Homo-oligomer: A and B are copies of this chain.
Amino acid sequence: MSDAQAAKVRAAILGFGTVGSSVARILCDSKPAGVELTHIFNRNVARKRVDWVSQSVIWTEAIEDVLSAPVDVVLELAGGLDPAGDWVRRALEAGKSVVTANKKLIAEHGIALDKLARSKGCHLFYGAAVAGGVPVIPGLQQGLAGDRITRIEGILNGTCNFILSKMEDGADFAQILKETQALGYAEADPTEDVAGFDARAKLVILLRIALRADVAVSDVAAKSITEIAAIDFAYAREMGCTIRQISRAELRGDEVLATVGPMLVPQDSPLAWSRGTENMLLVGGAYGGDVVFSGHGAGGHPTAVAVISDLLAIAHGSCAIGLPSKKVGVSGDFLLRHYIRLVVKDRPGIIAQIAGALAEQEINIHAILQKPGHTKESLPFVVIVEPCPSSALRRALARIATFDYLLEPTLDLQILEPEAGL
């Protein structure tokens, strides 16, 4: 233990929403040694005031009150790039350490902020930015620093996992999305979650920590879960799979393969076991093999646990092991089997023409599945193709999209290989 323990570390909360109030609540209840909450900052702070925090806490709506005070650690829990990014920068410049749950900020500006923190001799911790209460970042930084991680696969967005696991049980997308919003799991505008942007920011952070690869957020392709229908779960089940929003990346030579989107996951993979808002991360190491982390990735209290753990790390004089990362190119060109669901107005010769378009790109068909109970007027069927580069498949699908009997845009999902499981 260090000298830092002798004096109490003074902490300020920026943003008194769900996570901020959970952090305050846990600090008040469990009174961890070495830590004191001194400020709570929020816009229109009057409406936020609660009577269960210590009388000595200063409530303020002026960020300068925090930045000019002898606060040691700023807990940035407001989220978003602006103005939170400015607060974090100014806090670090003032020599204050920062703990943040802000995945967007860390994904976009983490490297620069880390550099700024080091130059000021203070700390930047963001364990809560990925997988909330599941200690994925400390587990990787502290526990797996000695390995060479070559692959990560995870369920990093609890909202999508909740929706897809409910759809697996028979719920309809639109209906379950409404329910998810009513439960407070999804925002009024669910785009960040369902389009994969939230998970992508987290994947970019993990790429940096686990694969030591710096990539731009916008370089990683994200596919929405909105196109998934009940029939896809039925076909997936037939193949011994389910469907989950997966964020995955692996090293291939000097570049990194990375993507986020709904995928077919074998039912015997740990990734298929995660239900509800659970988060899960599977990490493949060159020396240690596969390690799986899972638990509650979101919600006030689990996220607050990660924030307070980081605060305690600073209070106890610990520091993150920052192994160097380097800029690398990103590709989405995985070599995987694909699930392709087409809806056609049936007539003779369709299979031949589709098979031809695939063959032109040297893609082999593994199976064709067609469930009974549909009319020839609107006939869904599924083509499973053998492992092929995503780019080749994209070309084939562009060709197929020109065929006039197609009634809906074609759905194309990667299939996680069984050996990808633990």
Task: Report the nearest B residue to A291, measured CB to CB.
Answer: B295
Q: Any chain B CB within 8 A of the CB of A294?
A: yes
Q: Give A293-307 as 1s and 0s: 1 = Cβ < 8 Å from B's Cβ atoms.
A: 111100001101111
Q: How many angstroms between the C-alpha atoms of A22 and B138 in the bound complex? A: 24
Whether the Cβ atoms of B270 and A287 lie closer than 8 Å is no
Please report the C-alpha to C-alpha distance between residue A316 and residue B318 in the assembled complex, in whole angstroms.
10
Contacts of A306 in B (CB 8 A): 143, 146, 288
Asked, given contacts A273-B270, A318-B321, A322-B1, whether A146 binds B312 with beta carbons under 8 Å apart, the answer is yes
Q: Please classify the interface of chain A as helix (H, G, I), strand (E, B), loop, or mixed, using the class held by over half of its residues.
A: mixed
B318→A312 contact, CB < 8 A: no
Between A32, A139, A319, the greatest number of chain B beta carbons within 10 A of the residue's beta carbon is seen for: A139
With CB as the reference atom, state the residue of chain B lying closest to A293.
B293
Inter-chain contact B290/A292, CB cutoff 8 Å: no
Whether A278 is near chain B, meaning CB under 8 Å from some CB there, is yes
CB neighbors of B among A342-375 (8 A): none
Q: Identify the A interface with B (CB < 8 A).
A: 1-2, 22, 26, 30, 32-33, 118, 127, 133-140, 142-148, 270, 273, 278, 285, 287-296, 301-302, 304-313, 316-324, 422
A selection of 28 A-B contacts at a CB cut-off of 8 Å is A22-B287, A32-B323, A127-B142, A133-B288, A134-B143, A135-B291, A139-B143, A142-B313, A144-B309, A146-B304, A146-B309, A146-B311, A273-B273, A278-B422, A285-B305, A287-B305, A288-B301, A289-B296, A289-B302, A290-B295, A291-B293, A291-B295, A292-B292, A292-B293, A293-B293, A312-B321, A312-B323, A316-B321
Check if B322 sits within 8 Å of A319, measured CB to CB. Answer: no
A150 vs chain B, min Cβ distance (A) = 12
Question: Are A137 and B146 closer than 8 Å at their CB atoms?
Answer: no
Q: A107 to nearest B CB, angstroms?
A: 20
A32 / chain B contacts, CB cutoff of 8 Å? 145-146, 323
CB neighbours of A143 from chain B (8 A): 127, 134-139, 306, 309
Interfacial chain B residues near A311, Cβ < 8 Å = 146
| Contact, CB under 8 Å: B319 / A1 | yes
Pick from B135, B145, B293, B318: contact of A319, CB under 8 Å: B318
Given known A-B contacts A143-B135, A321-B312, A321-B318, A295 and B295 have beta carbons under 8 A apart: no
* Residues of chain B lying within 8 A (CB to CB) of residue A147: 133, 305, 308-309
Q: A302-B287, A321-B318, A422-B294 are in contact. Are A144 and B148 (CB under 8 A)?
A: no
Instruction: Report the Cα distance A322→B22, complex, angstroms.
Output: 24
